[in-house]
A and B are shown apart, each in its own frame.
Chain A
Amino acid sequence: MTDDLRDELQRRVDEPFLPAERKLVTWSLVLGVVLLGLLVWISDAFFAP
C-alpha cells in the first residue's frame, strides 16, 4: 500500500452530495418502508408456514 493511498484514507473529502445521490438514498429508504408493509401482507396471506 502506498503512502498516497494511506493519506487518502485518512483525509476527509468535501465532495458535494449530489442530487442523484440524495435521490438514490431517499428512494431506497422509501421503497424499503413501503415494501415492508406489502411483503409482510403477502407473506401472511399467501406464504403462511
Chain B
Amino acid sequence: MKLDEDRLALALALGLLVFALSLFTLAGVDLLGWGVATQVWLSPTKAIAPVSKAWAALPGVTSLVFTYLFLLVVMTVGAAMLGADVPRFAAGFTAIFWLSYACWLAGNWAYIAATPDKRAGFGIGWSLALTGEAGFIIALAVGLLIGNLLPGVATALREATRPEWYVKTAIVILGGALGVQAAGARGLATAVMFRGLAAIIEAYLIYWALVYLVARRLFHFSREWAAPLASGISICGVSAAIATGAAIRARPIVPIMVSSLVVLFAVVELVLLPFAAQTFLAHQPLVAGAWMGLAVKTDGAAVASGAITEALIRAKAAASGVAWQEGWMLMTTTTVKVFIDMFIGIWAFVLALVWAYGIRKDEGRTVTAGEIWEHFPKFVLGYFLTFAVFLALVVARPGLLDAAKTATAETNVFRVLFFVMTFFTIGLVSNFRRLAEEGIGRLALVYVVCLFGFIIWIGLAVSWIFFHGMTPPPVG
C-alpha cells in the first residue's frame, strides 16, 4: 500500500517535471524539442524526427536515442526512490522501451495506419486505416505473447513492468494538453467535466450495489471476497480492489486475486470495445469516449481504450469528410476515469464506516477523514494541476496559444511513449495460463455475468444520457 502511494506521488513528480520543462517553450527556450516524434511511414528513414522544428537538424535516430536516455535516467532515479533493484530496473526498462517503440513504429507503417484520405499521398491503394494508434494494439499483442509464451523473459523484465506507474505519469502529462485544448472551447470543456462527474456518480452507485448483490446472493461469496470484487469489477479496477480490501480489512491475498482478474478482463475489453464503439457510436463520439471510461477497468486500459476509440472514430469521420479536433474523446475518457479514481477514496471511507459500525461492530473504532486522503490517488491532483495551469495561461494571455500548443506537442512525445509502454507491460502481466491454474473460475464467472450482463450496458446508457449530441469542435 505504501509503495503504491509512493509510486503515485512519483508519477505526479515525473509528469510535472516534463510539464515544467515544456513551460520553457512558452518563454522562448525550447528544452524538449529533441524528443522523438513518429510519423506514418512507408520509408523507415522518414518515420522519425525531432518533434520541434527548432531541432530539425538533429537526425531522427539521435533524437530517439536522446529520448531513450532521458527517460532511462529519469525513470531509474524514480525506481531507486521506490526501492527497486536499480540495475535490474535499468536493464528491464531498456528492453521494454525499445520493444515498445518497435511496436509503435510498426503500428505507424502506412499499410496499417494510413487513413483513406492519406493513401494517395503515400501512393498506396489500400491500408487498414487503423491510424498510428495501431501501435498500441501491437504492443499489447507482443506483451501478451511474451507474458504467456516466454515467462522467463517476462520474469527478467519484471522489475520494470509497472503499467500503473507508466499510465499515471502519462495522465499527468495529458492534463496540460487537454488544458490548452479546453481553452479554445471552454463551454464544451466545462460541460464535459461536469457531465463526466455526474456519469461516474451514477455508474458507481448502481454498478457497485448490483455487483455486490450478484456476488453475495447469486454466487454466495463471503463479504470479504464480495466487496473487493464489487469495487474491482464495477468500474475502478486494481486500485479500488486494493483500497476496498484495506477498508474492510480483508486478507491481502483477496485484492491481489481480484486485481489479477481485473487486469486480464481489461485486456479483453481493450481489444473489443473500441472497435464496437467505432462500429456503433461513430456519430456519438463523446458517448463513445465516456463509455470507455465507464466500462473498461484499470486506468491504463481505460485511457488506452479512449485513445484507440478516438483514433478509430476520427478516421471513420474523416473518411466521410468530417474532421473533428483531436483529443476531445480522450479528454472525456480521461475525465471520467480520474473522477472515478477520486471517488475510490470516498467509497473506501464509506465501506470502512459500514464495516466498522454495521458489520464488525468494532468498539472504540474511529474512522477518520484522513482515510479518504490515504486512499486518494495523488496523480489525479497532477492531472488537474497541469490542466488548470495551461488552461489559465492561455485564457489569461491568448497570445500564448501557439507556444502552449508547441509545449504540449513536446510533452505529448513522452505521453505517447508512456502509453505504449503501458500497453506492452499490461500484456506482460496478463498471464492467462496462471489464471486457469489458480482456479479462480467462479470469480471470473461473476466478472463475466456482471460485465456482459449489465456493466457494459449501464455504462453505455449513462454515457448516452449525459453525452449524446455532443461532438468535438471541427478542425480549423
Contacts and interface: CB of A to CB of B under 8 A. Distances in A.
The finding on whether chains A and B are genuine partners in a shared complex, rather than unrelated, reads yes
B360 to A, nearest CB: 10
Interface of A is mostly: helix
A10 B222 CA distance: 12
Contacts of A29: 205-206, 209-210
A29 B202 CA distance: 9
A49 B217 CA distance: 42
Interface string A3-44: 001100110111101111101111011011001100110110
Contact of B220 (A13, A20, A28, A42): A13
A26 B438 CA distance: 34
B208 A43 contact: no
A40 B194 CA distance: 10
Given A28-B208, A28-B209, A40-B465, A21 B253 contact: no
Contact of A47 (B190, B358, B359, B438): B190
A49 B221 contact: no
Interface string B208-236: 11101100110111110100000000000
A23 B359 CA distance: 11
A20 B198 contact: no
Given A5-B253, A15-B222, A39-B201, A48 B212 contact: no
Interface in B316-361: 354, 357-359
Given A29-B206, A31-B205, A20 B439 contact: no
B212 A25 contact: yes
Is the interface on chain B under 10, 10 to 19, 20 to 34, or 35 or more residues? Answer: 35 or more
Contacts of A43: 191, 194-195, 198, 466
Contacts of A36: 202, 465
B466 A35 contact: no
Main secondary structure on B side of the interface with A: helix
A28 B347 CA distance: 11
A9 B442 contact: yes
Interface in B169-215: 187-188, 190-191, 194-195, 198, 201-202, 205-206, 208-210, 212-213
Contacts of A49: 187-188, 191, 469-470
B400 interface: no
Nearest to B350: A24
A10 B438 contact: no
A47 to B, nearest CB: 4
A18 B359 CA distance: 7
B187 A24 contact: no
Contacts of B42: none
B443 interface: yes
B82 interface: no
A48 B194 CA distance: 10
B213 A25 contact: yes
A32 B222 contact: no
A47 B191 contact: yes
Nearest to B206: A32
A25 B209 contact: yes
Contact of B438 (A6, A18, A46): A6
A35 B213 CA distance: 21
Contacts of B220: 12-14
B368 to A, nearest CB: 20
Nearest to B253: A5
A42 B198 contact: yes
B440 interface: yes
Contacts of B465: 36, 40
Nearest to B213: A25
Contacts of A19: 358
A12 B445 CA distance: 14
Contacts of A15: 216, 222-223
Q: Which 9 A-B pairs have the closest CB atoms?
A: A20-B358, A32-B205, A12-B220, A28-B209, A39-B198, A47-B194, A32-B206, A6-B439, A49-B191
Given A17-B217, A32-B206, 6 more contacts: A13-B221, A19-B358, A20-B359, A24-B354, A43-B194, A47-B194
22 contacts: A1-B439, A5-B253, A6-B439, A9-B439, A12-B219, A13-B222, A15-B222, A18-B358, A18-B359, A20-B354, A21-B212, A25-B209, A28-B209, A29-B206, A31-B205, A35-B202, A40-B465, A47-B191, A49-B187, A49-B188, A49-B469, A49-B470
